[in-house]
Each structure stands twice: as C-alpha cells, then as structure tokens.
C-alpha cells in the first residue's frame, strides 16, 4: 500500500529593496499630507507598514506564515540619510518596529565606510544582544578585526528561519558584481567582498547541512547577474533582487529559480505566495491561482499606519533641526515650499545636457563664484548623481511649488571629509587642453562605463561623435583608452551669469590651449574621476592651483564658506533662493530651464539630439 504524500507547506514572502531612506512618500513629497485627498505620491514606511499589517492579518486567518525581507540599500540618497551622521538609525529602527525578518547589506550601506556603518548599526540596536528581531545578512562581506563591524552578531553570513508550519527556510544575501564595481570605484576601504558565486555555492551547502529545506537569496544584484547565478548554482529556489531598481510585474524563471525585484524607494512592495512540496523538494508560485499581484503600489489609497507615522514624524522633526542648522535658519521645515518652478526639470535625455543637470551645474558655478570671490569658468557634475527628476507640486494647493526635501532629493547625497551630510565643492584649475580631455572622458564614461562619469556642464559646450570614443583597453587595468578624437568642437562660455546661446560669448577650446580655467565640481566625483584619469597616458596630475602648480590631494581644493565646507546641495538651495519672488511670495525660477541653450551635442553641430530614455 502506497503512503500518502506529505502535504504542501504554504508560506508568503513580502519584500522590498532599495528603500534609500524613503521614510515619507514622494513624487513630489510636497503633495503628501496624512489624511489628504488622493494624490500621485508613492511610498513611505507608514503606508508600507499598513499594507504589511493587512497582509499578515489575512494570512494569519488561514494559518499561513509570512516573512518580510529587504534586498539592501536601505539608506542613502535623500535628506533622511543625513541623520545617520547625527547618531540616528531611522530606517533600521522603523524596519525593526515593522517586523522585518531579514535585511541584506547593500552598496549604499558600505559606501558609508566601516566606521560610519558600524556606528549606524550600533545606534540601530546591534549587536543582537540589544535587539535581535531583524537579521542583517552579508554573505560575501568581510570586515577586518579592527572594525566594530567585525563584531560577532552585527551581521551574519546566513540565517535559517523555522516557520510556524515547521518549514525551514535558509537565507543568504550577497552584493553582486555591479555593486562591487561601484564600491571599488568609490575607493572606500575597510572591507573585502568575496566572489558572489563562490560565496553562494559554499553557503548553500552549509544551509542544506543545517537542515534548510528552501534556499532564498536576497541579492543586491541586477537581473542579468541573478540569472547567471541561477544558471550556475544548483539548489537555489528563489532570488529576491535589488540594486537595479527593476520593477518585475511577473517573476523571471531561470533554470528553475524564481527571480523578482520590487523597484525602488518603496513605490512598490512585492508579494510571493509560495508552496513547498516536501516530496519533490521544490517550491511553486501560488499568486496566479489566488489572483494575487506580484507587486502592489504603495499609493495614496493606502492609509498610513499611525504608529509608524508617529515614528516618521519624530525623525522628520529631528531632520528639520539639522536642516535649520545647515541652512542658517533659512529652512526650518523640509516639506515647506522654498521655491516656485512652473514646470518639471527632467534628468534625461542620455549623453547630453538636461534641464536638471543644467540647473544644478549652474548653481555650482554661480554660487561657488560668490563664495570664492573669483570667476568660475566651468562646473561639472556626473549624470549618475541625478537620481530623480525635479517634480513640482501638482495639487491645487501646491501647484508649481518645490519643497526643500524635493529639491535636495534629486541628487545623490553622501558625506564629506567633515563627516557631515553632503559632498563639498572643490575648486581647481585646468588648461584648455585638459578641458578638451575632460569632455573626451565624459563621452568615454557614458559610452563604456556608466552615467556617473558622463558629465553635465555649466560654462562650456561641446560636440562629439559617440562612435569614435574608444581606442581599446589598458591590458592590466582594463580601463578603456579614449581616442581623444570623439569631441570635434568645444567652446568655453565667456559671458556673465547663466550660459546663453550668444555666439559672441564663446571662445573655442583647441587641443593646444594652455590657458588656465577655474573649475568646480563635486569632491567625491573629482576623487574618483581623477584616480581613473591617472591610468590614461598624457593627463596625469591635471588638477592645479591658480598658479598652475599640481594639487597633491583633493582636500586642499575644498571650497569653504567661513569655516565649513560648502556642499553641492547648499549651492543648489542657495541658487534657488536667490531668484526674485513671484506671485506666490516664493522665489520663482523663470522659463530659462524649461528649454535651456544646449551644451552637449551628440553628432555634428546642428544635428538633432538623441532621444530620451
């Protein structure tokens, strides 16, 4: 007589990734008010908490266990991350209160450096003797013994969760190759990252030996890398991804492994209804048979959980104090309107200037000029810094208004050598010949590396052929060698104020121009960019002081406003506040950035620019 097969064991995974300190809804944040009429904002931990609570209650009625997980990058990229440097851990504290079971370490966590990250976890209640409800995973992350992050129990290589139905689910969490490359470019030391595939293969074996029946990887890695992992590693049932901000409305199945990702900034939450068959030793998806979407938008239709809303309100008030301090009392509330713009500023199209890039680089050039008291010829910023378009208010009460939060959130905000939020501006001099090289590197970066090294500029314009950017790669470093022939025409703006299209205000920059020009940019971008430039022949040690002497390090190039480093975000806010008041009583930016004079031209002079992506 045949024995009856063991019944399937049901369980549900709720998942998010790349939360990026998005405590409040945004898009734009100025449109969000608790209890207000429907609006277009997405995200916020209070909405997520309400949604999670509802899903848990529903599953509890049928006795089905649930797990809540994140695939990393819980911090960074908006003003709430500034609280990290004031000994707060808002994201981690709130996620613990919500009952997150596991969180993977992402590249934005590691970009803080081991000291700041260790302090962040300590303030969040780690090691687990203080608070052990939420497991932090770092399967392929290693910190040397001298760092607090190496303390036992702050993060784990793997974890096994035994569910109420007896099912043992094993977890691991890795950083993929793309995230590792970003960290390598950032030149932040104090940790090592082991090969993701080798690490996963090793720890799957250990999890199986410890009795795990289902193996789930919370990978801070892109889709193609996760597909590669699925093809090369047996025994991996599910990959919940992050890093690419990919919205997978339907799971990708690769070599029998389920792969999903839930976008960014809590615009969506993911839900996987699963069943484990003990006989076949495999899982299957139940969403379609239950009519359950894989992704759920966290929009204004979801009421905010009052307890988490109270937590968010507390951290908002603390951030208000920090911003008031940083701005000298000019801004006392991050959600109050600070400027009026009668249009949105997009952060696209590709490989050329865009409205947001022009606005920010103009702010960098013109405000630095005021601070230094010296004419600044050129400002540049990496396109990858601009995370979001600048979206103005859309409701009847907020139309055209921009809050401090929305203005600050559009660009990547890390920290400077002073240990405070925001990277400082740096000031140095380059020859006209070297500015041509800089334009070549911008083309090279956008075509072969990533948008981070494609530049937005103020005070210059150039024309280039993208097909002529790369000659080859250095045999050792693997860094692409520019042809120095992609840019076929470049000019420096010689006028005052904002860049115009007046031909009389431009001077050609030829390849033999040895005149010195005053340049400003982002401190971290300058450090990363010039470390790469040193690998390329002919352009070693190009940053100079005003006398033409090469700088020994970027620290001596930092711009100070009084005794404090002058940050990029400060320049942007100061520039916005410098405009005259409009009908609303707020500084009002005119139509200049609605359609600015073009600065970066793919193709020949006068050719139609490339389409947006």
Q: Which domains does the chain have, with CATH numbers?
A: 9-311 (3.60.21.10), 340-602 (3.90.780.10)
**CA-wise closest residue to 408 among 265, 266, 568:** 568
Residue pair 243/225 in contact by the 8 Å Cβ criterion = no
Residue pair 360/503 in contact by the 8 Å Cβ criterion = no
What local confidence, expressed as pLDDT, does residue 78 receive?
A: 87
Measured CA to CA, the distance from residue 229 to residue 179 in angstroms comes to 15
The answer to pTM > 0.85 is yes
Measured CA to CA, the distance from residue 337 to residue 28 in angstroms comes to 11
Measured CA to CA, the distance from residue 188 to residue 203 in angstroms comes to 26
pLDDT above 80: residue 183:
no
Residue 443 tokens, joined: 């083309």
pLDDT above 80: residue 37:
no
- Give backbone dihedrals phi and psi of 369, rounded to 5 degrees, phi first: -60, -40
Residue pair 468/585 in contact by the 8 Å Cβ criterion = no
Measured CA to CA, the distance from residue 411 to residue 414 in angstroms comes to 10
What band does 478 get if pLDDT is binned at 50, 70 and 90?
A: low
List Cβ neighbours of 26 (8 Å cut-off, separation of 6 or more): 32, 41, 42, 43, 44, 78, 265, 405, 406, 409
Q: What is the pLDDT of residues 531-554, one digit of tens each?
A: 655 555 555 557 899 999 999 888
Cα separations in angstroms, 130 against 70, 92, 134, 136: 21, 13, 11, 14
Residue pair 192/145 in contact by the 8 Å Cβ criterion = no
Helix (H, G, I), strand (E, B) or coil at 576: helix
Do the bridges between strand 401-403 and strand 337-340 make them parallel or antiparallel, or are there none, so unpaired? Answer: antiparallel
What band does 182 get if pLDDT is binned at 50, 70 and 90?
A: confident
pLDDT above 50: residue 611:
no
Residue 288 tokens, joined: 């379609």
Helix (H, G, I), strand (E, B) or coil at 314: helix
- Please give the share of the chain, as a percent, with pLDDT higher than 70: 89
Cα separations in angstroms, 466 against 82, 284, 348, 536, 604: 38, 46, 17, 19, 11
pLDDT above 90: residue 257:
yes
Residue 396 tokens, joined: 């009847």
Half-sphere exposure of 127 toward its Cβ, with a 13 Å CA cutoff? 8
List Cβ neighbours of 256 (8 Å cut-off, separation of 6 or more): 230, 282
- Please give the share of the chain, as a percent, with pLDDT higher than 90: 68
């Amino acid at each position: 007589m045949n024995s009856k097969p063991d019944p399937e064991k049901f369980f549900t995974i709720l998942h998010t990734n790349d939360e990026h300190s998005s405590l409040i809804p945004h898009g734009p944040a100025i449109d969000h008010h608790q209890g207000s009429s429907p609006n277009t904002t997405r995200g916020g931990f209070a909405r997520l908490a309400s949604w999670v609570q509802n899903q848990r209650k529903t599953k509890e009625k049928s006795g089905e266990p649930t797990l809540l997980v994140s695939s990393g990058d819980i911090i960074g990229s908006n003003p709430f991350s500034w609280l990290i440097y004031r000994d707060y851990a808002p994201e981690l504290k709130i996620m613990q209160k919500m009952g997150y079971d596991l969180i993977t370490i992402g590249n934005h966590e590691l970009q803080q450096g081991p000291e700041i990250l260790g302090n962040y976890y300590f303030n969040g209640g780690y090691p687990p003797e203080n608070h052990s409800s939420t497991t932090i995973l770092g399967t392929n992350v290693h910190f040397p013994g001298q760092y607090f992050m190496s303390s036992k129990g702050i993060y784990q290589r793997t974890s096994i969760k035994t569910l109420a139905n007896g099912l043992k689910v094993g977890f691991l969490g890795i950083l993929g190759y793309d995230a590792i490359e970003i960290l390598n470019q950032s030149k932040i030391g104090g940790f090592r990252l082991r090969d993701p595939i080798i690490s996963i293969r090793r720890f799957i074996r250990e999890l199986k030996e410890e009795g795990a029946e289902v193996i789930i990887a919370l990978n801070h890695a892109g889709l193609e890398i996760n597909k590669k992992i699925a093809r090369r590693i047996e025994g991996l049932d599910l990959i919940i991804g992050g890093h690419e901000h990919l919205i997978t409305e339907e799971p990708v199945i690769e070599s029998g492994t389920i792969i999903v990702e839930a976008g960014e900034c809590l615009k969506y939450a993911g839900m996987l209804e699963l069943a484990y068959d003990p006989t076949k030793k495999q899982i299957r998806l139940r969403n379609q048979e239950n009519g359950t979407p894989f992704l759920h938008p966290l929009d204004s239709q979801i009421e905010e959980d009052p307890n988490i809303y109270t937590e968010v309100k507390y951290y908002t008030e603390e951030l208000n104090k920090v911003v008031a301090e940083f701005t000298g009392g000019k801004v006392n509330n991050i959600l109050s309107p600070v400027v009026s713009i009668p249009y949105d500023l997009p952060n696209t199209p590709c490989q050329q200037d865009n409205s947001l890039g022009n606005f920010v680089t103009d702010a960098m050039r013109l405000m630095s000029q005021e601070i230094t008291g010296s004419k600044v010829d050129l400002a540049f910023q990496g396109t990858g810094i601009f995370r979001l378009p600048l979206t103005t208010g859309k409701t009847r009460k907020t139309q055209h208004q921009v809050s401090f939060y929305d203005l600050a959130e559009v660009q990547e905000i890390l920290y400077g050598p002073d240990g405070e939020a925001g990277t400082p501006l740096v000031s140095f001099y380059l020859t006209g010949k070297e500015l041509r090289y800089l334009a070549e590197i911008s083309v090279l970066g956008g075509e072969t590396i990533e948008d981070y090294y494609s530049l937005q500029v103020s005070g210059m314009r150039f024309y280039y052929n993208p097909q002529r950017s790369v000659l080859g790669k250095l045999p050792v470093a693997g860094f692409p060698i520019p042809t120095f022939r992609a840019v076929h025409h470049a000019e420096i703006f010689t006028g005052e104020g904002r860049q115009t299209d007046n031909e009389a205000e431009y001077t050609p920059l030829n390849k033999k121009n040895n005149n010195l020009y005053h340049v400003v940019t982002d401190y971290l971008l300058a450090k990363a960019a010039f470390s790469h430039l040193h690998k390329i022949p002919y352009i070693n040690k190009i940053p100079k002081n005003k006398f033409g002497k090469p700088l020994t390090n970027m620290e001596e190039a930092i711009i100070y406003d009084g005794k404090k480093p002058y940050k990029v975000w400060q320049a942007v806010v100061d520039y916005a506040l410098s405009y005259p008041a409009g009908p609303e009583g707020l500084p009002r930016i005119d139509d200049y950035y609605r359609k600015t004079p073009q600065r970066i031209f793919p193709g020949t002079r006068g050719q139609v620019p490339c389409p947006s992506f």
